[in-house]
């Protein structure tokens, strides 16, 4: 009994003197998706192309995409990006919005979304959080030279000005 406790004390001293402690690392090499979820509302005529759309979004790096289809009319031309969406994925989302939603004319502020979330053509927001964007500014957002930090700084600048509501609230 005494030999075992002496062995434990020696082992503890060796660890303390050596300065290295073995710690188990569970899930050390876990890769997470860069974008956790993409929600898209599309015009009704895209309903029959669901599988094709899902594949195209997956090829663009969005494996977790959920579609809704408007019953009538064209969904709003907006896009919202979470604060941790990489710039290349944000640019890909903008390109997909341009292709399938006939444009992007409104930005939704990143403070409304989870960090790695993308929404395209959401009708869940009113004009108090909709920031109009010009084509020239959209082209600047699409600049591949923008790092993720620079992209989000620019995006925040575009979506942090005070908006005066069009109607009285």
Q: Which residues, in sequence order, are CB contacts of 143 under 8 Å at separation 6+? A: none
Tokens of 60: 């663009």
Confidence of residue 162 (pLDDT cuts 50, 70, 90): confident
Q: Which of 11-15, 19-23, 78-82, 97-101 is predicted with the least confidence, judged by mean pLDDT?
A: 19-23
- Classified as helix, coil or strand, 31 is coil
More confident of the two residues 167 and 142: 142
Residue 6 lies inside a defined structural domain of this protein? no
Q: What is the mean pLDDT of the chain?
A: 85
Residue 14 lies inside a defined structural domain of this protein? no
Q: % helix / strand / coil in the chain, to the nearest 5? A: 40, 15, 45
Confidence of residue 58 (pLDDT cuts 50, 70, 90): very high
Residue 2 lies inside a defined structural domain of this protein? no
> With contact defined as beta carbons under 8 Å apart, do 36 and 66 qualify?
no
Residue 56 lies inside a defined structural domain of this protein? yes
Residue 11 lies inside a defined structural domain of this protein? no
Cα distance between residue 70 and residue 45, in whole Å: 9
Count of the separate structural domains present in the chain:
1
What's the mean pLDDT in 132-150?
96
Among candidate residues 44, 102, 105, the one with its CA nearest the CA of residue 73: 44
Residue 29 lies inside a defined structural domain of this protein? no
What's the mean pLDDT in 85-109?
96
pLDDT at position 161 is 80
Residue 10 lies inside a defined structural domain of this protein? no
Residue 26 lies inside a defined structural domain of this protein? no
Residue 60 domain boundaries: 37-158
């Amino acid at each position: 009994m005494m030999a075992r406790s002496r062995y434990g004390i020696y082992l503890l001293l060796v660890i303390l003197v050596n300065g290295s402690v073995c710690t188990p690392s569970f899930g050390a090499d876990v890769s997470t998706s860069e974008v956790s979820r993409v929600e898209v509302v599309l015009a009704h005529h895209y309903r029959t192309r669901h599988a094709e759309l899902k594949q195209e979004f997956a090829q663009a790096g969005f494996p977790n995409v959920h579609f809704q289809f408007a019953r009538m009319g064209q969904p709003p031309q907006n896009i919202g990006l979470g604060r941790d969406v990489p710039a290349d994925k944000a640019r890909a989302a903008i390109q997909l919005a341009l292709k399938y939603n006939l444009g992007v004319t409104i930005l939704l502020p990143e403070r409304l979304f989870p960090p790695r979330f993308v929404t395209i053509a959401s009708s869940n927001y009113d004009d108090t959080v909709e920031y109009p964007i010009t084509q020239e500014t959209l082209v600047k957002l699409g600049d591949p030279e923008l790092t993720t930090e620079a992209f989000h700084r620019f995006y925040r600048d575009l979506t942090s000005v005070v908006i005066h509501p069009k109607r009285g609230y």
